[in-house]
Amino acid sequence: GCYLDPEKAGMDSDAVFQGMTAHLFYTLGKLATSASPHDLYMALSYAVKDRLMTRYLASQEVIRKKPQKTVAYLSAEFLIGPQLSNNLLNLGITQEAEDALKRFGIESLSTILEVEEEPGLGNGGLGRLAACYMESLASLQVPAVGYGIRYEFGIFNQLIRDGWQVEVTDKWLKGGWPWELPQPDESCFVGFGGRTESYRDDKGNYRSRWIPSEHAIGVPHDVPVLGYRVNTCDRLRLWRADATESFDFYAFNIGDYYGAVEEKVASETLSKVLYPNDGTDEGRRLRLKQQHFFVSCSLQDMLRSLEKRSIPITEFPKHWTVQLNDTHPAIAVAELMRLLIDQYQIGWEKAWNITTSSVAYTNHTLLPEALEKWDLGLFNDLLPRHLEIIYEINWRFLQQLRLRYPGDDKILQKLSIIDEEGFKSVRMAHLATIGAHHINGVAALHSDLIKRQLMPEFAALWPEKFTNVTNGVTPRRWVALSNPSLSNLLEEEVGPNWITNMELLKKLEEKKDDNNFLEKFEETKLNGKRKLSSFVHSKTGILVDPSSLFDVQVKRIHQYKRQHLNALQIIAQYLRIKNGTNKFEVPRTIIFGGKAAPGYFMAKLMIRFINGIADVVNSDPDMDGLLRVVFLPDYNVKLGEIVYPATDLSEQISTAGKEASGTGNMKFAMNGALTIGTLDGANVELRDLVKKENFFLFGKTESEIMDLKNNNYSPKTFINQCPELKEVLRLIEIGHFSNGDKELFKPLLNSLTGHDPFFVMADFEDYLNKQDVVSECWNNKKAWNKMALLNTARSGYFSSDRSIREYCESIWKVSPMPVEITC
Ligand code: 26M
């Protein structure tokens, strides 16, 4: 029963042209003669979506007919980026689309790709990881559903005004978004608030019943996720919150029309906006509502899929494996228990068995301020039945602990789901750890620190639960799509299969001393740098030289990521040039990009600081040809695609032990950038893979940082030992980068010279010295190119295909299931 109209399914340029023409006319109501680039973008996207449908429906049928375990990836964020280019690539019709566009008078596909709005449904690393994982799941032909929230407003757009960040609402849906399929017939009903009641069932057992005071409806909006050159097309199911009509009838009847409309508006705000916090938990009520909303819809959806196929609910773990992307969806543990016990009348033991054999949890952070806790009062208010269930889970867990550690109340307090100190709260990481069969960190060092520092007692209790899956990124988007010039060279050299088997790039090692090849490799980089240079000029008016060393730090702005360490180093270089003491005449362009959480004052001040330095440096003729500083506004996926291929030096300079993994580091290395970095997150593994002589290491190790912390770390000691650092700090203090304003950067200076919580002062000198080594290397272009090539050749391990294979084998126990198209 599948539909194969050539205009909808044909893969040649003629069919694509016909498809576009039909969509322009019938879907968009436009004549080809008056179509704007946006119209053509829409028409091409609809034509591409038609071609996804055959594969999408065939994939859903395969799962329905030959039931096998499906991965449910639960994430509050999916930062999927632009869709058109990726779908063209995975379908294999990029050239055909280009040819079709020519017939509409469009010379280059990129003019059409540029008008696509990207859905910013994530903050940064965690959301982007979820998107890479969906793409790899489909490419590996694994049945999977991504479950999340269809925020009406994604991460804010960032403007820079007078050097400060200004946030602007992201209205990504305004021009229409062609990639989603609303499925209102599969909507779900979700309750909030109210109270519980106990009653006796037919068998005389006491049970609890939840009577919510509010409801919302979740309407699924499905985004097809096609794998690379395969028929598997998985589903990203994003829930939009809608108002409930029926429950307001009472209010309507007694005449409270406006009251009823108010509740309607309130439930629609549920999926209104993404919280832009990335790393700090604010404990907001609406955020918990969002989490419960999408988790409840998703679990109901999974249970319903069993019912539809008449599979007993007790077989849930055979059909679904549920992965929690951080604790944001951790309420799933309680919600699945509630659904099994209250809706399906399954007993506690059996329900707990089902829950713990299907749920697994990925931790993404050790930072205490990022660990989610919910005030007990707030939690009880919003989810009273869930709190009862959590108490029961906790009581049984604590009983187990009492047996193992008789009389040790300390350990009970420490591991309890309920934090009894100060304001009582629910610790979501504990709930997730107790309810999951596996808990994994996202890089070797991070997973090790989870066991040693974050949850040593849990790890001792359940050593077999704790594991590592090092993050990865998809080579389709981050090399093939974003870096066509490098991709062509790779294909010439190792054949086309590197795109799905990145380990093939190892073959490039043979070319490491081949001058001719190294020059070609360098040329691909230069192409990327030319592209970025013209982008920088168009967005900031700054002229940068594509032959200079492009030194880049793009990521969310955070103190632990230490953009200010980079900034201080720039000032030191500036001073050296001013004093005539700079050793290496290496022209550098230092580029920053990233958003600060709107309520994170220090991060916003760091942006202002970088822009203050940029103003001074870029307007000083002494810096011409030697130093340029650029803050690129509004860093996002689209901009990342321009930045990674254009980078010579990747800055991965977080305080050791703080960055769980990092994934930008991997994208840079694949694209032939060298890394200057600390032994943090996945940098550790990156350095091992590319070999230490091809990585610029600096800074204290995690254990050295711990020692400093335990021995009353004093930044002053380090400042006093380093005259250059003193000079740098003095220059800031006198207002050199703030037009004489001595107050502006005081909070930053005070933090660095006072407590210096992220050990910037401790690592400064080593960092500065390592930057000299970088410059020295740059002066030997052949040696540099060789190192860069070895980075590309040895970074195959960081393909998300490898990560997903590991999840499939060791955590999910699922295998690929090819999809055939039979019509
Ligand atoms: C929490 C509460 C309220 C609102 C927002 C949040 C929140 C949102 C996103 C907290 C953290 C969020 O993301 C954290 C994150 O992106 N972590 C990063 O995950 C990457 C993928 O594993 C790692 O590579 C990074 O090292 C890690 O910082």
Whether the pLDDT of residue 176 is over 90: the answer is yes
- Ligand 1 pocket mutation pick from 278, 291, 474, 804 by most atoms within 8 angstroms of CB: 278
- Separation of CA 447 and ligand 1 centre (Å): 16
Mean pLDDT across 103-119: 97
What pLDDT sits at residue 249? 54
Atom 7, ligand 1: residue with shortest CA distance: 278
Of the two residues 483 and 248, the one the predictor is more confident about is 483
Query: How far is C-alpha 473 from the chain's CA centre?
Result: 10
Looking at the whole model, is its pTM more than 0.90? yes
Active site residues: 364, 555-556, 561, 663, 667
CA of 685 to the centre of ligand 1 (A): 20
Closest Cα to atom 19 of ligand 1 = 126
pLDDT at 248: 53
Q: CA distances (Å), 633 to each of 68, 125, 389, 478, in order?
A: 46, 18, 46, 21
Whose CA is closest to atom 5 on ligand 1? 277
Query: In angstroms, how far is the first alpha carbon of the chain from the final one?
Result: 8
Q: How far is the CA of 526 from the centre of ligand 1 (A)?
A: 33
Which helix (H) or strand (E) is 147 found in, with range? strand 144-149
The rounded mean pLDDT for the chain is 96
pLDDT for 253 equals 63
Q: Which atom of ligand 1 is found nearest the CA of 275?
A: 4
Least confident of 52-66, 434-448, 688-702: 52-66
Supply the pLDDT for residue 29: 97
Confidence of residue 356 (pLDDT cuts 50, 70, 90): very high
* Chain segment 674-713, per-residue pLDDT in tens: 999 999 999 999 999 999 999 999 999 999 999 999 999 9
Mean pLDDT, rounded, for 468-491: 98
Give the residue-averaged pLDDT of 30-54.
96
Average pLDDT over residues 622-627: 98
Residues with CB under 6 A from ligand 1: 123-126, 129, 275, 277-279, 281-282, 287, 364-365, 370, 372, 442, 471, 659-663, 681
Q: Which pair of structure tokens corresponds to residue 800? A: 């998300």
Rounded to whole angstroms, how far apart are CA atoms 811 and 117? Answer: 35
Q: Identify the pLDDT of residue 57.
A: 95
Which tens digits make up the pLDDT trace of 202-219? 999 999 999 999 999 999
pLDDT over 70 at 2, yes or no: no
Give the pLDDT of residue 821.
86
Per residue in 572-618, pLDDT tens?
Answer: 999 999 999 999 999 999 999 999 999 999 999 999 999 999 999 99
- Residues 723-777: pLDDT tens digits? 999 999 999 999 999 999 999 999 999 999 999 999 999 999 999 999 999 999 9
- Compute the distance from residue 446 Cα to the ligand 1 centre, in Å: 14
pLDDT of residue 66: 75
Closest to 500 (Cα-Cα) out of 815, 135, 146: 135
* Ligand 1 pocket test target in 277, 292, 364 with most atoms within 8 Å of CB: 364
- Give the chain's domains with CATH numbers: 67-82+118-470+806-812 (3.40.50.2000), 481-491+512-798 (3.40.50.2000)
Determine what percent of the chain is predicted with pLDDT higher than 70: 98
User: Is the predicted pLDDT of residue 246 greater than 70, yes or no?
Assistant: no
**What are the C-alpha distances in Å from 664 to residues 645, 670, 681?**
12, 10, 11
Q: What is the pLDDT of residue 3?
A: 61
Residue 418: what are its φ and ψ, rounded to 5°? Answer: -95, 125
For residue 657, give the 3-state DSSP assignment.
coil
Alpha-carbon gap, residue 771 to 576, rounded angstroms: 13
More confident residue, 260 or 487: 487
Rounded CA separation 666/507 (Å): 19
Residue 645 C-beta-side C-alpha neighbours within 13 Å = 28
H helices present in 66-223, as ranges: 84-91, 94-102, 109-113, 125-139
Q: Which atom of ligand 1 is nearest to the CA of 362?
A: 22
pLDDT tier at 280, thresholds 50, 70, 90: confident
**Residue in 133, 289, 291, 365 to alter for ligand 1 test, most ligand atoms within 8 A of Cβ:** 365
Q: How far apart are CA 77 and CA 801, in angstroms?
A: 20
pLDDT tens sequence across 777-801: 999 999 999 999 999 999 999 999 9
Give distance in angstroms: CA of 325 to centre of ligand 1.
9
Whether 252 shows a pLDDT value over 60: the answer reads no
Distance set, CA 598 to CA 155, 164, 165, 369, 386 (Å): 11, 11, 9, 16, 31
269 close to 247: Cβ distance less than 8 angstroms:
no
The pLDDT assigned to 278 comes to 83
